[in-house]
Structures are given as C-alpha cells and as structure tokens.
Amino acid sequence: MSRRDDDATWREIVDNYGDRPVVPAEPPAPAEYVVPEPVQPDPFRLEVYDEAFVPPPLPPPPVIAPERRLAWVGLVAAPLLLVLVTLIDYRLPSVLTGGLVLAFLGSFGYLVATMSQEPRDPDDDGARL
C-alpha cells in the first residue's frame, strides 16, 4: 500500500465518522462570578490546626549502659576509621589495624551476646499511646 492510498483511506474514515460537531460562531460569554455563602462550621468536626492544642512533653530517652554505648562506638567507629585511613592513603601500624578489627569484632560479639532472648510480641509495632 502506498502513502497516497493510506491518506485516502484515512480521509474516508474521518469523513464518515459520526456526526460532525456544531461549532458556535461566537464563544459564550463568561458567567459572572458568584460569591459563595459562608459555610457554618460543623460542631462535630475536628479542626486540623487547633491553636489551643499543646502536645504532652516527650518522655526522657532511655538510659544506655556505658558498656553498650562503648560497644556501639566500637562497632561504628572502627570500620569508619579504617575506611578513612584507606581513603587518605595512610598506612597504620599493623598492631593498630589489628586492634581496630578486634574492637569491631568484640563490639559486635558483645552486642549480639547481650541481646534480649525473649521473643517479641508479634502484634507490637513499637507505637505507644
């Protein structure tokens, strides 16, 4: 099929497709703007931005035992220090490198060993009311 046949077929489809719309000669005049009546507030509707609401104070953060805090520091700081030293192309003494690796492994082992052994409640998502 040639391009001319395609165009003729397309024109035939368009010419025979349904009724042609009637296009008005002039566009309709725009409607006047009407000010809506003020809506009375619903007494049972809760306003999202209530200025009088003051949330209760947050509970104090949990106290972390010093040995657990030290284990977390060893778990995070030892690999970060090793990566930083590698990025700046500095060679640490092997004793210090081994100490950082042992600090990481010891911290990880301590945190795993002191984890709670009780099963968690499957319905507890951690939210508090």
How far is 61 from 82, CA to CA, in rounded Å?
A: 31
This prediction's pTM: 0.50
Structure tokens that stand for 49 in this block: 């931005």
Output the pLDDT for position 21. 66
How far is 26 from 29, CA to CA, in rounded Å?
A: 9
Higher pLDDT, 63 or 36: 63
Higher pLDDT, 98 or 118: 98
13 burial level (CB within 10 Å; 0-12, 13-18, 19+): exposed
Place of tokens 């100490």: 99
pLDDT, average across residues 4-24: 79
Output the pLDDT for position 48. 67
